Structures are given as C-alpha cells and as structure tokens.
Amino acid sequence: MARRITLRKAAGRSDWEAMLVGLNEVQRLAAAAPDGVNLILAGPGSGKTRVITHRVAWLIGQGVAPESILLTTFTRRAAREMVARLSSLVGPAADQVWAGTFHQIANRLLRRREFAEALGYQSNFSILDAEDALDLVAQAIDELGLGTRGRSSTRRGGSESGCGEAGGPLKPSTVQAALSLALNTRTGLPRIVEERFPELSGRIEQVEAIARTYAAKKRAANAMDYDDLLVQWMRLMEQRPDARDRMAREFTHLLVDEMQDTNTLQIEIVETLAAAGAGNLTAVGDDAQSIYRFRGANYDNLLKFPERHPGCRVFRLEINYRSTPEIVAFTNDSIRHNVEGFPKTLISARPASHLKPLAAATSNAYEESDLICQLIQEAVEAGRRLGEIAVLYRNHHDSIVLQGDLVTRGLKYTVRSGLRFFEQAHIKDVLAHLRVLSNPRDETAWRRLLLLLPGIGPAAASRILETILPTANPLDTLATAEAMASAPPRARGRFAAFVADLAQIRAADPGNRPAEAVHAVLKSGYTEILKQKYEHPEQRLKDIEQLGVLAARYDALDRLVADLLLAGDVYGMDTLEPDEPAETLVLSTVHQAKGLEWSMVFVMRLIEESFPNARAVIEPGGLDEERRIFYVAITRAKDELILTYPHLLSRGGRGPVVLTKPSRFLQEIDVNLYERAIVSRDVEPF
C-alpha cells in the first residue's frame, strides 16, 4: 500500500504572510498597508505591478471579498497582466476582482438595467468610438448651419476647413476636442476655449449649441461616447445618492494605478466612492511619469494627494530592478531639474555594467538613421534578440527616414503608432452590422452601413433614417415599403439586398452567437462591397475571419461589441496585437512606450524644437512635462541606452538646411554620466 503524505503549512506562517514572499521591505509595507488612505510612489522598474497584485492578494487573504475590490488601471493590457499575476497567488478568485480601465468599469456598471434607466438610457446602449463621435459632431454642426457639408469634411484624412474666421465653418475635430477636454477636466467651455482653443474664441454660444445638439443625437440613438461613460457614472452618483451608496457598499477597497495620468473627472469618481463608503483608497503612481496633460490628465491628482487626504500613509518604492546603475544615475540626474515633484532618488538593484549611456551626434538625419541601423545589426549579430530592441521618438514623423532604411536592410520592425486592428475601416463596417442588431437606434452605425451601398449618399441615408428611427422597431421598419420608398430609385435593388442580408445576419442569433453573425456578414453582399471599395480585399477578408475567431470566445453580442469598441481605451495604449511577431524591432512614440521595457533602447532626434516640443515649452508647466516625457523614454532601457541627434536638418527633404541645437535634456546632464560617440564614415581609398 502506498504511503500517504499530507503537506502542512510551515509553522508560524499564515496565508497572508505567504502573499508577501519575495517583496523587499518597503514593498511588503505597501502591500500590507492598513485600511484607510495610502499613497504608493513607485519609480520606474521598482516593482509597481508586483506590489499592486500582492496588495490585492493580501486583502483577499485578510478576508476581503474579491468582488468588493475595485482596481482601475490605465490600460486594458495592465489590467490583464495584473489579473494573470493575481491568479498565480489566489487562483480563480482573481477573476472576481473588478479590474480594468475607468471606461471598462463604467461600461459594466452602466449596463445594469436599473442604473441605465435611472440615467434615461436602455442597457443595450451603443458606444461610439472616436471616429463615430466625430461624425456625429459634424452632423450637429451641419444641422446648425455652422459647417461645411459633405462626408469628406468629417472623415479622417478629409479636408476640414479652419474655424478662425468669425462666422466661418467650424472644424468638427476642434469642437470635439474642446467638448471632451471640458468634460474630463470639469472645466467650463469658456475657460477651455480661452486657454486651449483660441480658434473658437468668440463662438462659445455656437459651440454650446453644438454640444446640446450632439448630446440630443446621442440620446436619441441610445448611444454614449467614451467621455459619456465617465460623465454618466459621475452623474449617477451625484443625482442618485441611493445608487452611489450601493456602489460604495459594493466596493469596499479602491486601488488606482497610474494616478498621475488620471483626469479631474476620474479622480472625483474614485474619491466620491471612497468618501461614501469605507474610505479605503490606495493610489499608486509616479509624478515623474505624468505625460498626458494634453489629454486632460491632472498632475495635481497625485502631487496634491496628501493634501486632499491628510494623514495618508506614503510609501516610496525607489529600488529599480530594471536598469543598470549607469542608466539609473543618468535618469536621476535628468529628473532632478524639474521644478515640481516628490523628491526621489532611484537606486539600482543590479550590479554595475560599466556601460554608460551613449550620446551620438551625426551630421544629418540620414546619418542618424544609418547609425541606428548599424548598431541594431551589430547587436543582433552579437546575440541580442531583435524583439529586445526599441527606437523611441517624440514625434512619429521623425521615424520615417529610419523606416525606409530598415526596409532596405531587411530588418523587421513594427510601428506602435498606426491604426489598430479594430480601427480599420472594414472591421468597423462589420461592427456596424453587429451594432444595429444590438441597438437598433444606433444612428451612427446605420449611417455607416447605408453609405456603403452604391447610389445612397448622405441625403438619401438621412431620409431612410428619418423613416425608420422614430418607429418602435427600426429593424422591422427597414423591410417595409415605406423604407424602400425612401431609397433612391437607382439604389432600391441594392437596398433590398441589404435588407435581406441583415435579416440573414439577424437569423444567425447574434445576441447569443456573435461568431455566427460575423460569418453571416462574410456570406452577405458586404463581401462584394468590400472588394469594390478597399485595396487588398483578400487580406481584409482574412481579417474578418480572424474577427470571427475572436467572437467565438463570446456568448453575448453586447459584451463583444463593447469590448471591441473599448479595445484601444481612451489613450490608445493597447497597441500590441495578439498576432504581432515577437522578434521584430519596435518603433514607438514615447507615449505609446510608457509602461514597457527593452534591453536596448534608442532615443532619436534629440534636438531643440523637436524634443522638447517647441509649442509645449512655451506653455505653463510645459517644459517640466517634456522633461517627464524624456524621463519616461530613458527609463525604458534595461541594459543599453543610446541617444542620437543630427547636427543638420532639412524640412521635408527640401528647402534650406538648418543647424540644429542638441536637446537641453541632454546638455543639462552631468557629462561624467554618459559617453560621447565620435561618428565617422569609411573613406574609400583612391
């Protein structure tokens, strides 16, 4: 008979103590902090994600119900990573934690029927992505007679007239940006216009009228844009104390990651919840990495957190596990030049590498590109994986010359600043089919579908929508003779085929089988439209097939559509697609690189007026923020940091060549903390 052995816990070691194994002293104190208000200042590479996940695990080990823990993250990627790590600590309980971006969590809450109806919505409301919202703003502008009619003025890449002249056409993207910033910063439109949008000066009443029309159109369509998810969440708590108190009882512990990147509306949401409930709020972040002011992020949310919460405990994570001592010393010397911020000095936990950051000046942009390519090739030949190398830049256009050279040399690369999979036109077309089935009052989705049909333009689409949308069931009305009569005679045959196609997609039971609905779209007349409308149709059809594979993971259409429309979050940080090759060089703006790390990092085009950005420098607090962007860039490097800049530069490859100045961010650093490179070219012998 086999001998049975039962393993027992080590003496004197409780479950919650096991949750803290592997943390350093300060990390343990932060993870096991008492209830109340806590601030964790986490420098780059200091194990922030590890501390957050261990704190959640510790709370669960203390008996806190996982479903009562609300963890907001800056990106969906961060939420997925934290839940995955948490699973290794607490098992299936990790999936019960409310972890996600503010917009994800808002979407989940507002989908509750009682909450949606309290706000005047149905729970199957649609979510408008950025382009759909822009189209609806443009429609509002045109309806008020304040814009240039025609779809070309509302689409990306279209020509939009400026709005500087009094009484001239208003630019939809400018109006949309002003409305969004006003909402997220909780600031009145007049002040926003005065400070950030001088081109709208003197036209506040018109902008406010557009805002009202835009809001009415969204309400009629039972739709919310990204901003509405947060605005309506806050409105629900302000106008319905019973709903606020219910949420406060439900979420007994709140944790906010990347506090420095939250905006005023987001911090008011979490602080309102905390104040109405148990008051357990943990903020995590690094003021030196606050780089999203242009999107409404409020630097003071973190900097003045102790003032707003007297007596809060502060934990400083200053041991850097990512970078070598040489890189850490360089980054410390850079950020100390900022006027504001919590004092901090990072200490590397790694042994000295004797490899200082390298600064290389080149004669021009072409030589800068040649140098970067050559150093990358040499690193790969020496055994470094291409996927462990990144080239970062302040402005996307600075990478164009480099991209050409990489192609010529056969170096595989991926760019983290283009359209994401779910933003591509053909994917949005398929989503529009699903959206009208999920929410038949979604005017934006209907308009997109109708405008795909040959012979139907904006005016005809509007007539059809005026016929079907006011009815009890727009999907049923679409098949009536009245709707057919609204279509132009030359387009009625194609319109009838579209109605039949939509009926077939509807018959696929998309509410419970979204993958079947995607395949039904592929079998419909849309396939021919795609082939006529877009380049590379075969690749696009394969993309839609992959969308069907993704949809097979879902058993509810509403959840699929919401997840896809929130896939990029409001800041567009989740740029790595599931099928992106691992062994490719990464080219990225610094903003897109935040939170990531590579063994070897290049920071290119370090010249005045480019990095720092010339416009940002003249704004109050702009120089400090530009330096924080530089700090984020250089702290991505684990082993090697190379900084490059050209002495001469021409604009657009033509015109006069100008002499550049090295970035002040490089010049202000102690010269003993980095090495300078002398770049020369081989000279062919006579």
Q: What is the residue extent of each domain of the chain? A: 16-112+239-317, 126-145+169-221, 325-418+579-678, 425-569
Contact 49, 78 (CB under 8 A): yes
The CA distances from residue 108 to 35, 98, 102, 354, 459, in Å, are 26, 10, 10, 51, 36
pLDDT at 12: 36
Written as six digits, the tokens of 331 are 């980054």
User: Using CA atoms, how far apart are residues 158 and 135, in angstroms rounded to an integer?
Assistant: 12
* Class of 425-569 in CATH: mainly alpha
Q: DSSP alpha helices (H): ranges in 251-323?
A: 264-276, 300-303, 305-308
Task: Tell the residue number behind the tokens 């949308």, with chain if given.
Answer: 469
Adjacent-strand bridge partners of 361: 645
Which H or E run contains 212?
A: helix 204-220
283 is annotated as contributing to ligand binding: no
pLDDT at 627: 95
47 is annotated as contributing to ligand binding: yes
Q: DSSP alpha helices (H): ranges in 240-339?
A: 241-250, 264-276, 300-303, 305-308, 325-335
φ, ψ for residue 498, nearest 5 deg: -65, -40
DSSP 49-106: HHHHHHHHHHHHHTT--GGGEEEE-SSHHHHHHHHHHHHHHHGGGGGGSEEE-HHHHH
Q: Minimal CA–CA distance to 16: which of 57, 70, 65? A: 57
User: Using CA atoms, how far apart are residues 574 and 567, in angstroms rounded to an integer?
Assistant: 7
Which of helix, strand or coil describes residue 251? coil
Which of helix, strand or coil describes residue 547? helix
Which of helix, strand or coil describes residue 574? coil
621 is annotated as contributing to ligand binding: no
The pLDDT mean for the chain works out to 87
| Cβ partners under 8 Å of residue 477, min gap 6 | 467, 468, 471, 483
Q: DSSP alpha helices (H): ranges in 534-669?
A: 537-551, 557-565, 590-593, 614-617, 622-634, 664-667
Task: Tell the residue number behind the tokens 């194990």, with chain if given.
Answer: 47
48 is annotated as contributing to ligand binding: yes
User: Using CA atoms, how far apart are residues 305 and 312, in angstroms rounded to an integer?
Assistant: 9
Rounding to the nearest 10 degrees, give the CA dihedral for residues 438, 440, 444, 445: 50
Which of helix, strand or coil describes residue 586? strand
User: Using CA atoms, how far apart are residues 442 and 436, in angstroms rounded to an integer?
Assistant: 6
pLDDT at 655: 54
Which H or E run contains 403?
A: helix 400-409
CA atoms within 13 A of residue 597's CA, in its CB half-sphere? 15
DSSP letter (8 states) at residue 352: P
The CA distances from residue 165 to 72, 162, 199, 201, 353, in Å, are 43, 8, 8, 10, 59
Which of helix, strand or coil describes residue 196? helix
Q: Minimal CA–CA distance to 74: which of 56, 99, 95? A: 99
User: Using CA atoms, how far apart are residues 76 and 420, in angstroms rounded to an integer?
Assistant: 14
Tens of pLDDT, residues 513-529: 888 999 999 999 999 99
Residue 329 Cα to chain centre, angstroms: 30
Rounding to the nearest 10 degrees, give the CA dihedral for residues 306, 308, 309, 314: -10
279 is annotated as contributing to ligand binding: no
User: Using CA atoms, how far apart are residues 370 and 374, in angstroms rounded to an integer?
Assistant: 6
46 is annotated as contributing to ligand binding: yes
Written as six digits, the tokens of 351 are 């042994």
| Cβ partners under 8 Å of residue 271, min gap 6 | 281, 308
Contact 98, 65 (CB under 8 A): no
The overall pTM is greater than 0.85? no
Q: Minimal CA–CA distance to 119: which of 204, 286, 234, 202? A: 234
pLDDT at 569: 45
Which of helix, strand or coil describes residue 455? coil
Tens of pLDDT, residues 608-619: 988 998 888 888
Contact 422, 568 (CB under 8 A): yes
Q: Minimal CA–CA distance to 317: which of 292, 349, 278, 356? A: 349
Written as six digits, the tokens of 344 are 């901090």
Consecutive 10-residue averages of pLDDT for the chain (686 residues) = 56 56 92 96 93 94 94 88 91 94 95 95 91 92 76 36 55 92 93 89 93 95 95 97 96 95 95 95 91 84 93 95 97 92 90 95 91 95 95 86 83 74 83 91 94 93 94 93 93 94 88 87 93 84 81 82 65 41 84 92 95 87 93 97 91 67 96 92 56
pLDDT at 21: 80
User: Using CA atoms, how far apart are residues 432 and 225, in angstroms rounded to an integer?
Assistant: 15
pLDDT at 11: 32
CA angle 516, 522, 527 (to 5 degrees): 165
pLDDT at 288: 87
Instruction: Return the sign of the alpha-carbon dihedral for residues 653, 655, 659, 665.
Output: negative
43 is annotated as contributing to ligand binding: yes
CATH of 16-112+239-317, one of 2.40.50.100, 3.40.50.300, 3.50.50.60, 3.30.10.20: 3.40.50.300
pLDDT at 567: 58
Within this chain, domains 16-112+239-317 and 425-569 share the same CATH topology: no
Contact 236, 119 (CB under 8 A): yes
Architecture of domain 325-418+579-678: 3-Layer(aba) Sandwich (3.40)
622 is annotated as contributing to ligand binding: no
φ, ψ for residue 370, nearest 5 deg: -60, -45
User: Using CA atoms, how far apart are residues 364 and 646, in angstroms rounded to an integer?
Assistant: 5
| Cβ partners under 8 Å of residue 192, min gap 6 | 178, 181, 182, 185
Contact 674, 637 (CB under 8 A): no
Written as six digits, the tokens of 287 are 């003021």
| Cβ partners under 8 Å of residue 298, min gap 6 | 185, 262, 263, 264, 267
Q: Minimal CA–CA distance to 606: which of 418, 391, 404, 413? A: 391
φ, ψ for residue 177, nearest 5 deg: -60, -40
CA angle 346, 350, 351 (to 5 degrees): 120
Contact 440, 125 (CB under 8 A): no
